[in-house]
């Protein structure tokens, strides 16, 4: 999937719940997929693997989900939560002045 095709497919909504995703900065160009507190998920495979990459038009599966759905994913699939450790990201730290 080419980058323009990916952008047309993804749109500014969470792929899990459909919630509108907000851009990080108001002046972010539309071709930049940078959404506030979103999680980008890319799943790849290869020849003879679980996801066989024999289709030349698709090299990976790609999705963007909102902050709440990312937490839901981490709770439902514990190894993902342990792997990405969302409690250590900047969005979960208390800002001290």
**Which residues are CB-neighbours of 6 under 8 A, at least 6 positions away?**
33, 62
Instruction: Answer yes or no: is 69 within a domain.
Output: yes
Tens of pLDDT, residue by residue over 39-50, are 989 888 877 888
pLDDT at position 23 is 87
Which candidate, 13, 9, 61, places its Cα nearest to that of 35?
13
Average pLDDT taken over every residue of the chain: 78
Rounded (10°) CA dihedral 86, 91, 93, 95:
180
Structural domain harbouring 84: 3-89
Pairing state between β 60-65 and 39-44: antiparallel
Give alpha helix (H) positions in the chain. 3-10, 67-76, 78-84
Give a yes or no: residue 64 inside a domain.
Answer: yes
Cβ proximity of 19 and 11 under 8 Å: no
Using a 10 angstrom Cβ sphere, with 0-12 exposed, 13-18 middle and 19 or more buried, the burial of residue 38 is buried
pLDDT of 70 reads 92
Asked whether residue 94 is assigned to any structural domain, the reply reads no
Per the structure, how many domains does the chain have? Answer: 1
């Amino acid at each position: 999937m080419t980058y323009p095709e990916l952008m047309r497919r993804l749109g500014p909504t969470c792929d899990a719940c459909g919630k509108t995703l907000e851009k990080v900065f108001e002046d972010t160009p539309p071709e930049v997929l940078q959404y506030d507190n979103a999680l980008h998920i890319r799943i790849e495979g290869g020849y003879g693997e679980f996801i066989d990459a024999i289709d030349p038009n698709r090299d990976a599966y790609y999705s963007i989900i909102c902050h709440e759905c990312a937490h839901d994913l981490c709770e439902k699939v514990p190894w993902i939560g342990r792997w990405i450790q969302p409690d250590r990201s900047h969005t979960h730290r208390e800002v001290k002045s």
